Structure 1
Amino acid sequence: MADAPATIELSRPELRAVTGYAVACARPALAIFEREHPDDRRPRDALDAAQAFADGAERTRALRDNAWSAHRAAQETRDAGQGAASDAARAAAHACGAAFLHPLAKATQVKHILGSAAHAARAFELSAGDDPAVGAERIARSRDLARAVVTEVLGRYPAAPPGGGRVGELIRQLDASLR
């Protein structure tokens, strides 16, 4: 059997579509973060930067900087015991990260495509008292948001890898439903 290719072809329009999908999945969870931290714009700014890229802006350092800022907001809220807010911020950070999907045929890259959806679903689960039915419903909504280009790009990668706790489970559920 021949080895799988080491790299995957990705066009700029495909990266924009994947990023737009990630933003659409993450944006509903922003309200969870903003309920706890109404004056902290870092996750909102990350989503706005990712949406700008999806809409045609260049992929610049500002996009990466916004992702790191949202990630710091996620760490701070996690450290403060605000798990739902943390996952909501992490969803925003992953939306920016989608713009940097690597053309490497590795299962770990699936998180760039589906991480924002999984973290948003986890934020909703935690916000509802850690109810897995709420997460499953959010994953179903994320599945419905995926357009053909997103599923086609996802199909070029190996299936999502094991591990990653509850967010990893949500990624694998979404991955399996989109393939």
Structure 2
Amino acid sequence: MTTPPDLDLTLEELRAVARFAADCAAELLPVYESSVVDDARPREALEAARAFANGAARSNRQRTTAFAAHRAAREAPDEVARLAALACADAAGAAYLHPLAQATQVGHVLRSAACVARVAELRGEDVDVVVATLADRAAPPVPAVLRRYPTPQGGRARLAELLVALDTAVRGSDAR
């Protein structure tokens, strides 16, 4: 079995990916904060993602806040709060999208958006419309970055299915 080659990612491409993920996560942060009033971990992760997206150096701040927000997601009182914290964690983690040609890396690009889609679905919204709207918000160079990675395989979990739907939509978004 051969290993796929690594790919090149510029700092500006990484910032664009982090910006997209942070914009998605920002939609869900109020959901978390209304459910878990005294926990700043998701907000700190989102702030770290935004700082990187806006020009700050990629640092240990993104990693540590991402891990802390993942812990907040595990401790969340319900699925919606869990997804909100996870979106913030993944936004901070987007700064560490690896230049490895592996489908698992697609989660760094799209998992925050998949969380938004899942929360919308749980609220009774038309998930196809939400996926299309999120895909349209993935501004260049995000679709081009995504196309460098292999397509992810769907899993049994609904979040994985939504990630695949978003992947399909975003890969074609600036080609329309």
TM-score, scaled to structure 2: 0.91
Residues in 2 aligned to 1:97 and 1:141: alpha-carbon distance in whole angstroms: 23
> What's the offset of the Cα at 1:164?
5.2
SS in structure 2 of the partner of residue 59 of structure 1: coil
Residue type of the alignment partner of 2:130: R
Partner of 2:169: 177
Structure 1 runs not aligned, ≥5 long: none
In structure 2, give the amino acid aligned to 1:96.
A
Question: Structure 1 vs Structure 2: percent identity of aligned residues?
Answer: 46
CA contact (8 A) 1:106 1:158 kept: yes
Between the aligned partners of 1:66 and 1:157, the Cα distance in structure 2 is: 26
- 1:1-36 deviation per Cα after TM superposition (whole angstroms, max 9, x unaligned): xx7841111011110010001001111011111110
Q: Secondary structure at the match of 2:96?
A: coil
Distance in 2 separating the partners of 1:170 and 1:60:
30
Aligned to 1:44: 43
Q: Distance in 1 between matches of 2:144 and 2:10?
A: 12
User: 1:132 & 1:165 partners in 2: Cα distance?
Assistant: 19
Query: SS at 2:6's partner residue?
Result: coil
Aligned to 1:11: 10
Letter in 2 for 1:143: A
Residue 160 (structure 1) shift: 1.7
Matched position secondary structure for 2:155: coil
- Conserved? CA contact 1:113–1:154, under 8 Å: yes
Given the superposition, is the C-alpha separation of residues 87 and 176 from structure 1 closer, same or farther in structure 2, using an over 3 Å criterion?
A: same
* Counterpart-to-counterpart distance in 2, 1:90 and 1:41: 13
- The 3 A distance-change label for structure 1 pair 157 and 102 is same
Indicate yes or no: 2:147 matched with 1:155: yes
Q: Which residue of 2 aligns with 1:92?
A: 88
**Partner residue of 1:75?**
74
Q: Which runs of 5+ in 2 are unaligned?
A: 172-176
RMSD (CA atoms):
1.6
Aligned residues of 1:43 and 1:73 also touching (Cα < 8 A): yes
